[in-house]
Chains A and B, each alone.
Chain A
Amino acid sequence: MSVPFLYALVGIGLFCLGLHALIVHDHLLRKILAINVMGSGVFLVLVALARRGGDSPPDPVPHAMVITGIVVAISATALALSLMLKVKAATGRAELADKDGG
């Protein structure tokens, strides 16, 4: 198994861990962190698979994608955090109420 492939597998692992955490945890901060872990997993896959074996230099396009992706992730996280604070202020809990909408 090559090293880039190992990194890609770790990326998939992070993605799955994040997905699991997103589903099982109730607290919104944990959900937001879980989304971020998933995002890091995808970025790791992108960067790892950019090296196509041998001595050839890595493909720069996925790196550019990751940089753009990080910008998107930061804005999404900022929006999510401020929304979480608003939910906390309105309902007293940083959790989503169950189906009936609380």
Chain B
Amino acid sequence: MDVLFSEIPWGPVLILLPLAGGIACFLFPASAKPLGLLTVALVGLAVVGLGWQLLGHGVYHHAVGGWGAPLGIDLAADGLSLLMLAMTALVGFGVSLYATGYFKPADSVRFWPLWLLLLGALNALFLSGDLFNLYVTLELVGLAAVALTALQGGRDALTGAMRYLLATLLGSLLYLLGVALLYHGFGTVDLALLSERVMPSPVAWAALGLMSAGLILKTALFPLHFWLPPAHASAPAPVSAVLSALVVKASFYILLRLWLAIFADISEGVAALFGLLGAGAVLWGSLQALRQTRVKLLVAYSTVAQIGYLFLVYPLASGMGVTAWSAMAYLAFSHALAKAAMFLAAGNLMYFGGHDRIADLDRVVQRLPLTAGAFALAGVSIMGLPPSGGFNGKWLLLQAALTQGRWDIVGIILLGGLLAAGYIFKVLGNTFTQAPKTHEPISVPARMQWAAMLLAAGAILVGFLASPFLALVGVGDPFNVGGLRP
């Protein structure tokens, strides 16, 4: 068993499997659903295999085609990559289960190839170890995500997708210009080599500025979040879940990797700026979420706020490395599960009542208890109430902030939690009562309800698994704080 698990090159499998599955779904549209589900389940197994390998042998390396860097393309994985891959596999499975019930046949045929292509691109991104490969996978993710947003057509979805496409292309080009400058300055695009070679110089600073701006735009950090709410709110429910849970995390992950490998040592004051923008995102996103009258827009603005928390980590990292980065890992992972559950629940509400106006939610708790429960459980994690993954993340973040006496950040974290409670109870409150205009319910398939419930339960459950979670993330010491920052 052990031999089997350690011999298979899981990295290429994780990339080729969804690509092959996507092509198969495109060629055999009649059996796209079972093929798609099978592929996603196999990808989950492959992630388990990679995790097994990582625990046994430490950091994973694979030279594609036997060429090796700097000439060839290297795949690499440590605890942080594994965390993102596991997040993708879990959310991906929940969303796939949901999608088997959600789409009409005509849309289903177009959904599965694009979704599996997106899955392959995400896996490739999390396994990449060089800047240019990251650029290519980032573009693949972006193009697949835009196509998925526009899947069902309609004015809002099409204009939302167009705005999204322009924003994402602009972000990629800014990033690519940064890559060009770094290559010129230091002669490599390999992250590990760059981290040894990079020095504070105008070229490095220019690259830092360009790449940060591009990736922040793609991550939709306040004030560059303008494209996110229309795109995420107008996409079909499973697509919204994937966009909010996984796609924004992709560009965030690249920024984090760049920061850890290259920029942490040469950036004066950029961490403080990130923290400031993060605080702005928490406040602005939460306030906007409170003002929304439709569930999906509310959940989309909640994503803007939750991304802010991830950036609050940067100013805390120089003093409290491990705690701060662990907080970020926890927040990113539990947000992915909880937010996917929320969008799926919102999709159920739309399916059930034909609309997602908060004020007109009609006795949902009585008639759709699983969906209301999923929304509430996901809300617990988003608010950061114990016991949940969101709570653990916020607790670690608070700990890092308190130890350093950063009372401003403590205030933002607490206020953000309070505002989150406000907008989540705004929805939940309306699910108990009868709406002024009642309607006949359309029955929602059980697996669509269970998919939302499973993801929400996962966000709670991860709160109980703190020590294995942190041990897994620590494989290969991705935040290498021990050596660099005493």
Q: Is the CB of A45 within 8 A of B159?
A: no
CB distance from A91 to the nearest CB of B (A): 6
- Other A-B contacts than A28-B162, A42-B176, A80-B162, 6 sampled, CB-CB below 8 A, are A22-B166, A41-B177, A72-B136, A90-B153, A90-B154, A91-B158
Q: Does B461 have its Cβ within 8 Å of any Cβ on chain A?
A: no
Q: Is the CB of A91 within 8 A of B176?
A: no
Q: Does B155 have its Cβ within 8 Å of any Cβ on chain A?
A: yes
Q: Is the CB of A101 within 8 A of B159?
A: yes
Bound Cα distance from A62 to B165, whole angstroms? 26
Are A97 and B180 also in contact (CB < 8 A) when A68-B136, A79-B146 are? no
Are A87 and B173 also in contact (CB < 8 A) when A76-B143, A79-B147 are? no
Q: List 18 A-B contacts (CB under 8 A).
A: A22-B170, A35-B169, A45-B177, A45-B181, A46-B183, A65-B132, A68-B132, A76-B169, A79-B146, A80-B166, A83-B150, A87-B158, A90-B153, A90-B155, A90-B158, A90-B159, A96-B162, A101-B155
Q: Does A61 have its Cβ within 8 Å of any Cβ on chain B?
A: yes
Return the chain B residue nearest A89 by Cβ.
Answer: B158
CB distance from A94 to the nearest CB of B (A): 9
Q: Is the CB of B146 within 8 A of A42?
A: no
Bound Cα distance from A76 to B158, whole angstroms? 16
Return the chain B residue nearest A64 by Cβ.
Answer: B132
Interface string of B121-161 (1 = CB under 8 A from A): 00000000000100110010001001100100111101111
Q: Does B163 have its Cβ within 8 Å of any Cβ on chain A?
A: yes
Q: Is the CB of A45 within 8 A of B165?
A: no
Bound Cα distance from A79 to B172, whole angstroms? 15
Q: Is the CB of B156 within 8 A of A31?
A: no
Return the chain A residue nearest B179 by Cβ.
Answer: A65
Ranked 7 nearest A-B pairs via Cβ: A49-B184, A46-B180, A72-B139, A87-B158, A45-B180, A42-B177, A90-B155
Residues of chain B in range 244-293 having any CB-CB distance to chain A below 8 Å: none
Q: Is the CB of B180 within 8 A of A42?
A: yes
CB distance from B486 to the nearest CB of A (A): 37
Q: Is the CB of B180 within 8 A of A79?
A: no
Residues of chain A in range 60-102 having any CB-CB distance to chain B below 8 Å: 61-62, 65, 68-69, 72, 75-76, 79-80, 83-84, 86-87, 90-91, 96-97, 101-102
Q: Does B230 have its Cβ within 8 Å of any Cβ on chain A?
A: yes
- In the complex, chain B residues whose CB is within 8 Å of the CB of A15: 173, 177
- In the complex, chain B residues whose CB is within 8 Å of the CB of A101: 155-156, 159-160, 230
- In the complex, chain A residues whose CB is within 8 Å of the CB of B135: 69
Return the chain A residue nearest B157 by Cβ.
Answer: A90
Q: Which of A39, A91, A96 contacts B163 (CB 8 A)?
A: A96
Are A96 and B147 also in contact (CB < 8 A) when A31-B166, A68-B136, A79-B165 are? no
CB distance from A59 to the nearest CB of B (A): 8
Bound Cα distance from A31 to B176, whole angstroms? 19
- In the complex, chain A residues whose CB is within 8 Å of the CB of B179: 65
CB distance from B147 to the nearest CB of A (A): 7
Return the chain B residue nearest A8 by Cβ.
Answer: B184
Bound Cα distance from A101 to B294, whole angstroms? 14
Return the chain B residue nearest A31 by Cβ.
Answer: B166
CB distance from B294 to the nearest CB of A (A): 12
Are A83 and B146 also in contact (CB < 8 A) when A90-B158, A91-B155, A96-B162 are? yes
Q: Is the CB of B177 within 8 A of A91?
A: no
Most central of B135, B161, B166, B181 by chain A CB within 10 Å: B166
Q: Is the CB of B177 within 8 A of A96?
A: no
- In the complex, chain A residues whose CB is within 8 Å of the CB of B70: 61
Bound Cα distance from A39 to B146, whole angstroms? 19
Are A35 and B156 also in contact (CB < 8 A) when A79-B146, A83-B146, A83-B161 are? no
Most central of B139, B147, B155, B173 by chain A CB within 10 Å: B173
Bound Cα distance from A42 to B184, whole angstroms? 13
Bound Cα distance from A15 to B210, whole angstroms? 12
Q: Is the CB of B156 within 8 A of A86?
A: no
Q: Is the CB of A35 within 8 A of B159?
A: no
Q: Is the CB of B166 within 8 A of A49?
A: no
CB distance from A82 to the nearest CB of B (A): 9
Residues of chain B in range 466-485 having any CB-CB distance to chain A below 8 Å: none
Bound Cα distance from A101 to B150, whole angstroms? 15
Bound Cα distance from A4 to B143, whole angstroms? 33
Most central of B153, B180, B184 by chain A CB within 10 Å: B180
- In the complex, chain B residues whose CB is within 8 Å of the CB of A83: 146, 150, 158, 161-162, 165
Q: Is the CB of A76 within 8 A of B155?
A: no
- In the complex, chain A residues whose CB is within 8 Å of the CB of B177: 15, 41-42, 45
Bound Cα distance from A1 to B136, whole angstroms? 33
- In the complex, chain B residues whose CB is within 8 Å of the CB of A80: 162, 165-166, 169
CB distance from A12 to the nearest CB of B (A): 8
Return the chain B residue nearest A77 by Cβ.
Answer: B169
Bound Cα distance from A84 to B173, whole angstroms? 20
- In the complex, chain B residues whose CB is within 8 Å of the CB of A42: 173, 176-177, 180
Q: Which of B154, B170, B184 contacts A35 (CB 8 A)?
A: B170
CB distance from A95 to the nearest CB of B (A): 9
Q: Is the CB of A61 within 8 A of B150?
A: no
CB distance from B160 to the nearest CB of A (A): 8
- In the complex, chain A residues whose CB is within 8 Å of the CB of B150: 83, 86
CB distance from A33 to the nearest CB of B (A): 12
Return the chain B residue nearest A78 by Cβ.
Answer: B143
Are A87 and B166 also in contact (CB < 8 A) when A45-B177, A72-B139 are? no
